[in-house]
Structure 1
Amino acid sequence: MLLFKLAYRNIRGAGLRSFLNILVMSIIFVLIVWMQGLYEGVTVQATTDMIREDVAGGHYRHPAYDPHDLVDLMEAHQSYQPQQKAVDRHDLEPVLIINASVYPNGRMQSALLKGIRPDQVLLDFPAHELKPQTDGVIPALIGKRMADMMQVALGDEFIIQWRDRQGTFDAATVRIVHIMTTIVPTIDAGQLWIPLKRLQEMTGMTDEATYMIARPGFQLQDPQDWKFYSQDELVHSIVNLMETKSSGGMFLYLILLLMAMLSIFDTQVLAIFKRRKEIGTLVALGMTQKEVSRLFTLEGTMFGLLGAALAVILGIPICLYTWRNGINFGPVMDSFNLAVSPIIYPIYTPEMIVTTFILVLFLVMVISWIPARKIASLRPTDAIAGRRIYKVRGAK
């Protein structure tokens, strides 16, 4: 208890220097927790939106279908007749994909032509907009990113060209009936959606699909040639990407921690230099050298504790505000091609806060102990006489 009283008295006696150290520690606490919450919010938001708009309960894919190799999709399709009952119950939702060329405003662009049933219910996807047109033109919907890239607007018509299953080229006119606002690039970038039956007729691939979206909790008893990819596997790439970015953020955490540790270290070294007579007096009065070392370590630790207390006062309103209202990054997020909304809602967990507190407090204790261990070689007579604590190089 005596050490605690002495440590608190010394911190209070340092005045402005102590306050600045505590303020720096509190800012470090708040920044680290806030940034970790931001990364966690991005990860949760990205995975949630992907599951809601694209993944659902997982995908049953044709073995030849590779989303990362879309040069030729003519072999990546097969019949889903054995699973027709599950499709009729909306336990499975078939999607057919072929390569196509589109010609908006006289320009040629490559695109993926995707077919989906307008009455699908598994995804938060505006497939119901694919209503038959009275003049027989093929209805199509695209995402906002794709519309911007093609420079097309609602109601525009243009030619698309594709190959059927025999390799014969054909062409038709499509009309943009809906431009969806989505943050999931896997259903937007480079893609054009039309009714599934129409695409099957155009390609001669009746009752065939490239992959089937599964209802959450549903599994085929006999998947046959379909290869199942679970929900976790499909969002794994996004989770890995955000973990990589979070690891990159560790470099910034390290810089912040080094700033705080340097402040504590300098304060402790200066305190030992200025208070050498006091230290010698305490040792002469019966305080062991280990107790003196503990005193200075405790002072540094109390900087961390008081900094954490101030961080609670400063951080709660900041974190609460961003948790409720989010942080609007505007169009910057589009440049990352991530399934992330421009408004990010940080997520703060007790584990995150406790881990940060323990890590910072441990580092403060270590950095406070390093200069304090020099006290073990201090002789009371030297300290009281005002001699230097540290040996001069070459002196005996």
Structure 2
Amino acid sequence: MKILEKSSLVWAPAALLLTPLAEAEVMEQTALMIIQQNMTTEMEMNFFPSNTLPAETTRTYTGNFSCSFEFDTETLQIEGFKFNGGTILISAYGLQCSDFITYPQPTNTQFTIVTKAPYLNVANGVIQLSPETRENSEGEVEFGDVDSEGQLTNSNYKYFASQGIYTTSFVIRGAAQDTLLINYNQGVNLLYKGTSTVDIREVSSTIYEKSVRAYLTIELDEDVVTTLQGRVAANNIDIIETEKGTIVANTGQFKVPTAYGNWATENDLNKPDPDDVNEAGIAYGILFALDLPADATSLPISTENTDAGPVTKIVLPEGGLLSPMAIEYTTELDNEDWPLLPTTYYLDGPDSLNLGATGEPSFGFPDGERCFVRFVTDLD
């Protein structure tokens, strides 16, 4: 939608200065994230460093959790993120693998078959995790760091495992060795794993607001080496467990006001059409672009004669143009089509009316016949 400056026609086209972007607004949102359906990872277990007879399986992730995040309402860039708790359920799995291991003295056993059988002993066959943001030194939970790519800093987060018993055991020639046990029923803090990226994606938009969803994508590519303690040190066994896959969770849709929507609300207007005019006959879209109040009665535009001919000047907002502007001109007021003023007449450069431009740019008039100019903007 092109919005015209309707209050005045002047003898020269308008210009702007260069572009520091208008100051962004940061918004905080709290929402429930739901893990998408069919989120599984590939599990593998094998002896280290050999890999003779690995065992493979999958495990499934379900559940939902609350999170809060700070983001730029214009770019939708996430600037801070924290977990508020919730539940991630991970399906139980059982793996058993065998290999031939050569042991030194004193066992004097070679090519021994070793079996490692981890299992989860829980009523519902799942591990229950609660993702949490770590406290700072004052015991407060703050937003965790997010880099420019939207990736979370793992050290800011943890999992609290509150359900399940994870047991690892192995046998040498039928003799059970010492068992490794983690009892999640007693509550265990686990390291936050994977590479997590959080982003906000636009679903639809109007000039007043955007409908968006937030997504958390966890890329798992983990290798964990566990040393199983034999009854004698010579029987110790290193086993490597891997998990690879992608887990995706997302919020429902929520609304984010656009810059024009915020401006309208601040001016007590209910979704005004940008082409509508106030009592002084000035279009709301032009007032928004110049960051002026909705009841403004004039615009910061002036024209003067110079030795080089007439020049039009416009004073831009200190924080920068909220919407890019342009200048159109004509030699006859009754013309329906007004072409764009050639940038040759943008005396402060062709970028002087870009989004975020500030200063007091000036504009010249085409040589020859008389000329009328007008300022326009487009919120689409």
TM-score (norm 2): 0.26
Which of the pair has the greater relative contact order for Cα pairs under 8 Å at 6+ separation?
Answer: 1
Q: Pick the structure with more helix per residue.
A: 1
Q: Pick the structure with more strand per residue.
A: 2
